[in-house]
Amino acid sequence: MSLYARLTGWIVLLFGLGYFFIPLLGLTEFSLKARRGVYSLDAYAKIIGDTEFQATFSYSVVMALVTIAFGILIVVPTAFWVRLKMPWARPYVEFLTLLPLVIPAIVIVFGYIRLYNTSSWLPLTGTVTGTNLLLAFGYTVLALPYMYRAVDTGLRTIDVATLTEAAQSLGAGWATILTRVILPNVLPAVLSGAFLTFAIVIGEFTLAALLDRPAFGPYLQRIGANKPYEPFALSVIAFAITWACMGLIQLVTRFSKHMKAES
Amino acid sequence: MSLYARLTGWIVLLFGLGYFFIPLLGLTEFSLKARRGVYSLDAYAKIIGDTEFQATFSYSVVMALVTIAFGILIVVPTAFWVRLKMPWARPYVEFLTLLPLVIPAIVIVFGYIRLYNTSSWLPLTGTVTGTNLLLAFGYTVLALPYMYRAVDTGLRTIDVATLTEAAQSLGAGWATILTRVILPNVLPAVLSGAFLTFAIVIGEFTLAALLDRPAFGPYLQRIGANKPYEPFALSVIAFAITWACMGLIQLVTRFSKHMKAES
Amino acid sequence: MPYLEIARLEKSFGANRVVTDFNLGVEQGEFISLLGPSGCGKTTVLRMVAGFERPSSGAIRIGSEDVVGKRPNQRNIGMVFQAYALFPNLTVAENVGFGLKIKGARRDEITARVAEMLALIGLPDLGARYPFQLSGGQQQRVALARALAPKPRVLLLDEPLSALDAKVRVSLRNEIRAIQRDLGITTIFVTHDQEEALSISDRIVVMNAGIADQVGTPFEIYNRPTTRFVANFVGQLNLFKADDAGRIGGVAVGQGDFAARPEAVHLGREAESDIVLPATVEEVHFLGSVIRVTAAAAGARIALDTFNRPDMPPPAVGSAVELSLSSRDLIPLK
Amino acid sequence: MPYLEIARLEKSFGANRVVTDFNLGVEQGEFISLLGPSGCGKTTVLRMVAGFERPSSGAIRIGSEDVVGKRPNQRNIGMVFQAYALFPNLTVAENVGFGLKIKGARRDEITARVAEMLALIGLPDLGARYPFQLSGGQQQRVALARALAPKPRVLLLDEPLSALDAKVRVSLRNEIRAIQRDLGITTIFVTHDQEEALSISDRIVVMNAGIADQVGTPFEIYNRPTTRFVANFVGQLNLFKADDAGRIGGVAVGQGDFAARPEAVHLGREAESDIVLPATVEEVHFLGSVIRVTAAAAGARIALDTFNRPDMPPPAVGSAVELSLSSRDLIPLK
Least confident of A24-28, B191-195, C1-5, C7-11: A24-28
Q: Is residue B85 less than 8 Å (CB to CB) from chain D?
A: no
Distance from CA of C83 to the nearest CA of A (A): 8
Least confident of A82-96, B92-106, C10-24: B92-106
Q: Give residue C66's pLDDT.
A: 92
Q: Give residue A263's pLDDT.
A: 34
Convert the pLDDT of each residue in B129-140 to its tens digit: 888 888 888 888
* 3-class SS shares of chain A: helix, strand, coil, % to 5: 80, 0, 20
Closest CA to B199 of C56, A171, C294, A105: A105
Of D72, D85, D88, the CB nearest to B259: D88
Confidence band, pLDDT 50/70/90 cuts, at residue D70: very high
The pLDDT mean for chain B works out to 77
Q: Which of A110-124, B188-202, C320-334 has the highest mean pLDDT?
A: C320-334
Convert the pLDDT of each residue in C201-254 to its tens digit: 999 999 998 999 999 999 999 988 888 899 888 888 888 888 888 888 778 888
How far, in Å, CA of D277 to CA of B93, rounded? 68
Chain C residue at shortest CA distance from D197: C287
Convert the pLDDT of each residue in D97-124 to its tens digit: 999 999 999 999 999 999 999 999 999 9
Convert the pLDDT of each residue in B101-118 to its tens digit: 666 666 666 666 666 766
**B205 strand-pairing partners:** none
Q: Give residue A262's pLDDT.
A: 36
Confidence band, pLDDT 50/70/90 cuts, at residue B260: very low
Partners of residue B231 in chain A, C-beta under 8 Å: 110
Q: Give residue A260's pLDDT.
A: 46
Give the count of alpha carbons within 13 A of D209, CB side only.
2
Q: Which of B19-33, B200-214, D158-172 has the highest mean pLDDT?
A: D158-172
Percent of the residues in chain C that have a pLDDT greater than 70, as a whole number = 100
How far, in Å, CA of C51 to CA of C71, rounded? 6
Partners of residue D235 in chain C, C-beta under 8 Å: 288-289
The pLDDT mean for chain A works out to 77
Query: Do the chains contact at A171 and C150, CB–CB below 8 Å?
Result: yes
Q: Where are the alpha helices (DSSP H) in chain C?
A: 42-50, 92-102, 107-120, 136-148, 166-183, 194-200, 218-223, 228-233
Determine phi and psi for B168, rounding to 5 degrees.
Answer: -60, -45
**Residue D150 confidence (pLDDT) above 50:** yes
Least confident of A243-257, B24-38, C86-100: A243-257
Of D287, D308, D328, the CB nearest to C199: D287
**Residue B261 confidence (pLDDT) above 50:** no
Convert the pLDDT of each residue in C120-169 to its tens digit: 999 999 999 999 889 889 999 999 999 999 999 999 999 999 878 777 88
Percent of the residues in chain A that have a pLDDT greater than 70, as a whole number = 71
Determine phi and psi for C28, rounding to 5 degrees.
Answer: -60, 130
Q: Is residue B259 less than 8 Å (CB to CB) from chain D?
A: yes
Chain A residue at shortest CA distance from C149: A170
Q: Give residue A189's pLDDT.
A: 79
Q: Give residue C53's pLDDT.
A: 92
Of C73, C79, C86, the CB nearest to A173: C73
Name chain D's partners: 3 or more CB pairs within 8 A: B, C
Of B163, B171, B260, the CB nearest to D102: B171
Confidence band, pLDDT 50/70/90 cuts, at residue C258: confident
Q: Is residue D105 less than 8 Å (CB to CB) from chain B?
A: no
Return the residue in C75, C89, C144 with the most chain A beta carbons within 10 A, the one to mutate for interface testing.
C89
Who has greater pLDDT, D173 or B49? D173
**Residue B124 confidence (pLDDT) above 80:** no
Q: Is residue D316 less than 8 Å (CB to CB) from chain C?
A: no
Chain B residue at shortest CA distance from A101: B200
Architecture per CATH, A53-262: Orthogonal Bundle (1.10)
Query: Do the chains contact at B168 and D85, CB–CB below 8 Å?
Result: no
Q: Is residue D202 less than 8 Å (CB to CB) from chain C?
A: no
**Residue A17 confidence (pLDDT) above 70:** no
For the stretch C10-41, what's the b/e string if a residue is b when 16 or more beta carbons lie within 10 angstroms of its beta carbon? Answer: bbeeeeeebbeebebebeeebbbbbbbeeebb
Name chain C's partners: 3 or more CB pairs within 8 A: A, D
Going across the sheet that includes D320-325, the strands are D266-267, D320-325, D275-286, D290-297, D300-307
Q: Give residue D125's pLDDT.
A: 92
Q: Give residue A165's pLDDT.
A: 94
Query: Do the chains contact at D307 and C310, CB–CB below 8 Å?
Result: no
**Residue A5 confidence (pLDDT) above 60:** no
Of A110, A245, A253, the CB nearest to B102: A245
- Pairing relationship of beta strands C238-241 and C257-260 according to DSSP bridges: antiparallel
**Residue B173 confidence (pLDDT) above 70:** yes
Residue D245 CB coordination number (10 Å): 8
Query: Do the chains contact at B184 and D98, CB–CB below 8 Å?
Result: no
Least confident of A25-34, A98-107, D44-53: A98-107
Confidence band, pLDDT 50/70/90 cuts, at residue A261: very low
Of B104, B200, B235, the CB nearest to A106: B235
Convert the pLDDT of each residue in B57-99 to its tens digit: 889 989 999 999 988 888 888 888 888 887 777 777 777 777 7
Partners of residue A82 in chain B, C-beta under 8 Å: 9
Partners of residue A239 in chain B, C-beta under 8 Å: 103, 107
